[in-house]
């Protein structure tokens, strides 16, 4: 029995979707107690803006994946690629993120599975480096809570990460990681310029992600835009911690814990708690809306 057969992948996608819907309902019900005290003060304009900017961020990430996949020779029509990508985002709610790759194989069924896996790995590397750079950049805007010497260290680390992106360094390091997880090493690797391009686009994607978080907090208090860049850095630090916690579906609990720990140094704790729960709900809502849209969009019959 072929695990990656077309019928099995469709069944897997449906099960994944139902599982995430159940997870969302469970999360919202469990979070309602923390949000209930703040429901009266929600600014619905800010809530709509949070959803809008988070949606823009996800769509930008989708276009990054399509461009990166094309660089690896992975060809698929836009709707098939978008459907696979949006459903794969729901795979984050499976411990270990196994669903991230499995669902994508459906859109690239005529291409080697290994190529899809490698492209997904490079997508992760570009996003990871961009996240680190955003965190380091945000340090320069947190003078009140970050010592001056750390800004110098942040500059040096940023330069180090950019040098690390060169294939002569990144390729062997990636292969060491693949061998550690008992996978075959990569032979073909993107050029330095191409990797820099995807890192730069991911950096730009951090702006709407940050605005999504900003407006989720602004739902409960009138915030200054001076907090935007520090919030972007803290949010991405929390996201990286969530990724590292393979046991936690989509970093649930870990990401929130990091934000609860750091952001109250800038914003009132009650606002942080409510806003952090809200951005999680908004993010899940965006993921489900995209998955529903691309899944229900009429497909052209293959000839």
So what's the pLDDT on residue 303? 40
So what's the pLDDT on residue 4? 45
Averaged over successive runs of 10 residues, the pLDDT of the chain (303 residues) comes to 50 58 60 62 90 95 87 82 81 58 65 76 84 85 71 79 82 80 72 85 89 92 88 85 58 71 83 85 88 78 45
Q: Is residue 303 part of a domain?
A: no
End-to-end CA distance of the chain: 26
So what's the pLDDT on residue 14? 59
Q: Is residue 130 part of a domain?
A: yes
So what's the pLDDT on residue 58? 93
Q: Is residue 301 part of a domain?
A: no
Q: Which domain holds residue 218?
A: 6-296
Spatial separation of the C-alpha atoms in residues 251 and 234, rounded to whole Å: 15
Q: Is residue 200 part of a domain?
A: yes
Q: Is residue 182 part of a domain?
A: yes
Q: Is residue 269 part of a domain?
A: yes
Number of domains in the chain: 1
């Amino acid at each position: 029995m072929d695990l990656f057969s077309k019928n099995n992948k469709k069944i897997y996608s449906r099960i994944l979707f139902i599982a995430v819907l159940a997870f969302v309902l469970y999360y919202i019900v469990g979070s309602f107690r923390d949000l209930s005290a703040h429901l009266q003060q929600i600014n619905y304009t800010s809530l709509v803006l949070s959803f809008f900017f988070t949606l823009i961020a996800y769509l930008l990430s989708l276009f990054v994946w399509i461009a990166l996949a094309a660089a690896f020779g992975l060809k698929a029509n836009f709707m098939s690629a978008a459907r696979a990508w949006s459903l794969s985002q729901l795979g984050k709610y499976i411990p270990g993120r196994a669903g991230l790759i499995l669902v994508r194989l459906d859109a690239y069924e005529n291409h080697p599975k290994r190529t899809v896996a490698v492209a997904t790995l490079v997508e992760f590397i570009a996003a990871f480096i961009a996240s680190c750079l955003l965190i380091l950049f945000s340090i320069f805007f947190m003078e009140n809570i970050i010592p001056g010497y750390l800004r110098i260290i942040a500059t040096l680390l940023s330069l180090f990460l950019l040098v690390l992106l060169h294939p002569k360094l990144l390729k062997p390091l990636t292969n060491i990681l693949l061998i550690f997880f008992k996978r075959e090493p990569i032979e073909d690797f993107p050029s330095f310029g191409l990797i820099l391009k995807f890192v730069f686009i991911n950096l730009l994607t951090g702006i709407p992600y940050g605005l999504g978080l900003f407006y989720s907090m602004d739902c409960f208090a009138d915030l200054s835009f001076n907090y935007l860049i520090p919030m972007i850095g803290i949010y991405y630090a929390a996201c990286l911690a969530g990724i590292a916690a393979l046991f936690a579906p989509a970093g649930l609990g870990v990401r929130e814990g990091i934000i609860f720990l750091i952001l109250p140094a800038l914003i009132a704790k009650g606002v942080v708690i409510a806003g952090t729960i809200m951005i999680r709900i908004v993010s899940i809502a965006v993921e489900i809306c995209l998955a529903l849209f691309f899944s229900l969009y009429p497909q052209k019959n293959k000839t």
